Amino acid sequence: MATISSHIAVMTFPFASHPSALLNLVRRLAASFPTVRFSFLSTAKSNQAIFSGQHYDNIKPYDVSDGLPEGYFFAGNVHEPLEAFMKAIPGNFKEGMQEAEAEAGVKVRCLLTDAFFAFGGEMAEAMGVPWIAFWVGGPCSLSAHIHTDPIRSTVGDIDTAQNAEQTLNFIPGMSKIQIRDLPEGIIDPREMPIAHELHDMGLKLPQATAVVLNSYEEIDLTIITDLKTKLKKVLSVGPLTLTLSSPSKSDESGCLPWLDKHKAASVAYISFGTILVPPRSELVALAEAIEASGVPYLWSLPDHSRNHLPQGFVERTSTRGMVVSWAPQLQVLAHSSVGIHITHSGWNSVLESISYAVPMICRPFFADNMLNCRMVGDVWEIGVRVEDGILTKSGTMKAIQLLLSDDKGKELKENIRLLKDSAVKAVGSNGSSAKNFETLEDIIGSCC
């Protein structure tokens, strides 16, 4: 790298798809500002996962403490690493930033943080630099967090179990969202370990110089218009993956050559994201549905869950199916053979499915999954939620049949094709995302 002209500290929430989503934004910015150093602060585990085999001239990873005691053994409680990390912030980031400044010999002139970090506002203010917050989810979930107080005051005193289907028609663009779709902790903070931090985030984000989203305006115009009245600057710059060249991981399992052998739009691609493990009973039901429906499938399933599949399933379906521990999802969804995406409805997965016009069967599990699933099924009409919200053999078979053969499936396919076209337009020259990215460049350029 040439002489470092300026320095941006990037602070990541080191769980699930958050670091790789933020890295996508940083990769684009780093290409626009080749002499600016981007110090990417995350835990060693997360940095190792997303930087392995990758090198970027002006992006430098720095490991910060994960807050876990020396020799910590992960025994399966996912809350432990999360709670330890939340106790370590912001001290661990301050230390990491000092190290990065000393090494670069240039002071940090801008903070780019995961929007989860409300402390970013105070830190940036104390340093006299802009705070750019990156929201990893979609506009709908951001709106739910920004409106947490009105939601609590409007529905907080009713029996939410009894009124689970009540809609949020008092929030612009959210009239089809039901109480039961909200992420855990929005109504009852006791449901979620970091609910207080997320509430705090909703209150602090209006101070951010800009809130950047991996989305595009046309997909949720009403929500975005409302968010623009609450936040200083809302910059939807996505889908980022449509603007980046190389994939994050290679095709070690040979998914792409395998897909080449199948007919157009015939394969069901199955994945539940980076951290989620569906219950064994649902994995069994899904496998049974896949086997009975005869659909070709490509299943991204972590090794530790493989033994939950029914005995002999992989062997019996080996001529038309493949189970891998990780798939190059972007290229898989871009492949012409893939016709269905069975997903937990994580935001990145939904946006990637839209980017390549693959209709979805959604089985939402946690966080923003239920909101995204509602948008997919009832607002954009580009997929279906599995019957009764859980994977059963008959419900999944019905959904597969609907997407592959029924007229309704054709309609969903057409809807997602139109949405994909608008996504492509948004990132193209003069598109809304392209213009928002220029605004972001101006903000960064003015402090660098």
Whichever of 9 and 354 has its CB closer to ligand UDP, that residue is 354
Identify whether 79 is a catalytic site residue.
no
Residues 6+ apart with CB under 8 A from 264: 336, 337, 339
Q: CA 123 to CA 112: how far, in whole Å?
A: 11
Is residue 16 a contact residue for ligand UDP (CB under 6 A)?
yes
Between CA 276 and CA 355 the distance in angstroms is: 23
Give the interface segment with ligand UDP, choosing from 63-71, 111-119, 138-146, 267-275 (CB under 6 A).
267-275
Closest-CA residue to 298 (of 277, 274, 326): 326
CA-to-CA distance for 427 and 429, rounded, in angstroms? 7
Judged by beta carbon, residue 16 or residue 400, the one nearer ligand UDP is: 16
Residue 349 is a binding residue for ligand UDP (CB under 6 A): yes
| Residue 276 binds to ligand UDP (criterion: CB under 6 A) | yes
By C-beta, is 341 or 398 nearer to ligand UDP? Answer: 341
Check residue 17 for interaction with ligand UDP (CB under 6 A): yes
For the sheet containing 210-213, what is the strand order? 59-64, 36-43, 6-11, 110-114, 131-135, 210-213, 234-236
Q: What is the Cα–Cα distance from 436 to 239, expressed in whole angstroms?
A: 12
Q: Does 329 bind ligand UDP (CB under 6 A)?
A: yes
With respect to ligand UDP, which residue has the nearer C-beta, 215 or 300?
300
Told to check if 275 binds ligand UDP by CB under 6 A, we report yes
Token output for 140: 């709908």
C-alpha span between 142 and 372 (Å, rounded): 11
Q: Give me the residue whose beta carbon is nearest to ligand UDP.
A: 346
278 in contact with ligand UDP (CB under 6 A): no
* Least separation in angstroms between CB 350 and ligand UDP: 7
Judged by CB under 6 A, the residue of 326, 389, 390, 434 near ligand UDP is: 326
- The single residue among 178, 274, 293, 422 that binds ligand UDP, judged by CB under 6 A, is 274
Six token digits for residue 133: 């917050």
Among 346, 359, 364, 395, binds ligand UDP (CB under 6 A): 346
55 is catalytic: no
Write out the H or E segment, with its range, that includes residue 18.
helix 18-32
- Residue type at 419? L
User: Quick one: CA dihedral 429, 235, 215, 38, positive or negative?
Assistant: positive
Stretch that binds ligand UDP, among 321-329, 334-342, 390-398, 435-443 (CB under 6 A): 321-329
Unique residue bearing structure tokens 């207080």:
196
Enumerate binding residues for ligand UDP (CB under 6 A). 16-17, 271, 273-276, 300, 326-327, 329-330, 346-349, 352
Which residues are catalytically annotated? 18, 114
